[in-house]
Each structure stands twice: as C-alpha cells, then as structure tokens.
Amino acid sequence: MTLREISLTLPNKPGALAGVARALAKERINLAAISVDSTAGDGRVRLIVSDPERAVKLLAAAGYDPEVREMLAVRLEDRAGSFLRVLEVLAREKVNLLSVAILVAREGNQPLVALSTTDLARARRILQSAGFVSRAAEGLVSKGDLLSSAPSIPDESVGLLL
C-alpha cells in the first residue's frame, strides 16, 4: 500500500475539523497522522488515514476538496538525531521535502515517519540504499495496525486515535 497524505482547506471556525473527524469516524477510517495549521480565515489539515481511497471519496462527497500526495515511510532508531540523518542524506542529494508526518504506527520498536518530496521515486532509491526505507512500513497504516498500537481502544471506537 502506498501512503497517501490527504490535504484539505477548512474554514478557521469551531467545529470545522470535527466535521472531518465525524465523517471519517462514521465510516470507521482511522487516522495515522494529522497536522493542522491555520490563519485568521482558513486552516490547512493534512491527514494520513487507514483507507485513503475511501476517505478521499467520502470527503469529496461531503463537500470537501481533498488533495492527495504520495508519501514514503522511513523507519528511525528511537534516539535523538536519527531523523537528522535522513534529512542530511536528502539534503546532500538535493532532494526537497514537501511534508513530514510522524506516524502513530511503529515497526517493531522503531518509530515511522512519512515523507513527501519533489521527487518521490528518487528519494525512495536514495533512502532505501541508505537503509531507511521499509516497504513493509508503508503497509502498516491500516485499521488493524492502528488498533494494535492502542489495544485499550475498542474496535468500534475508530476515527481519531491521536
């Protein structure tokens, strides 16, 4: 499964983000990562979800205008400076980042980070040869994996796990 980031522009007003969360939760689509940035008028929301294709259709049908960007997942050592090593490899190869998201899921005991770049295929080759990319990690963002990351949450309680 290829990771996809869904971006939406929302009005900066109470309840706008709750509407998105409600739509996803109703259809049992889990969040693996979320980022929100707002100004006085609008907010920008970036989501990585367990079922991006279904989420895009659902959000579009609900009147939102979702944009989709492909991402790759890298696994890090759980220690200070490990993400810096990824950034230095990309900078040395002149690969520009577009977005970064820390994922809820882990691969074993290793944290996962999703990246989008101006040249995803090249970034994948570079980071794979440097030992960071795990194709298996990109498949971890599923309902089952998200729920296993938080076993105390009942299966019916899907939606925003963050």
pTM, 2 dp: 0.76
**Confidence check: pLDDT of 69 > 80:** yes
* Average pLDDT for 71-94: 90
Q: Where do we find the tokens 């105390």?
A: 152
Helix 82-92 crosses helix 120-129 at what angle (to 10 degrees)?
120
- What is the greatest pairwise CA distance in the chain? 46
Determine contact, residues 146/32, Cβ cutoff 8 Å.
yes
Homologous superfamily (CATH) of 71-143 is VC0802-like (3.30.2130.10)
- Rounded CA separation 61/86 (Å): 37
Q: Where do we find the tokens 């959000």?
A: 59
* Average pLDDT for 142-147: 46
User: Which part of the chain has CATH 3.30.2130.10?
Assistant: 3-69, 71-143
**Confidence check: pLDDT of 142 > 60:** no
Q: What is the pLDDT of residues 5-42, one digit of tens each?
A: 999 999 988 899 999 999 999 999 988 888 898 887 88
**Confidence check: pLDDT of 133 > 70:** yes
CATH topology for the 3-69 domain: VC0802-like (3.30.2130)
Helix 52-61 crosses helix 16-26 at what angle (to 10 degrees)?
120
Could you write out the DSSP letters of every residue in 70-127?
Answer: EEEEEE--SSTTHHHHHHHHHHHTTPPEEEEEEEEEEETTEEEEEEEESSHHHHHHHH
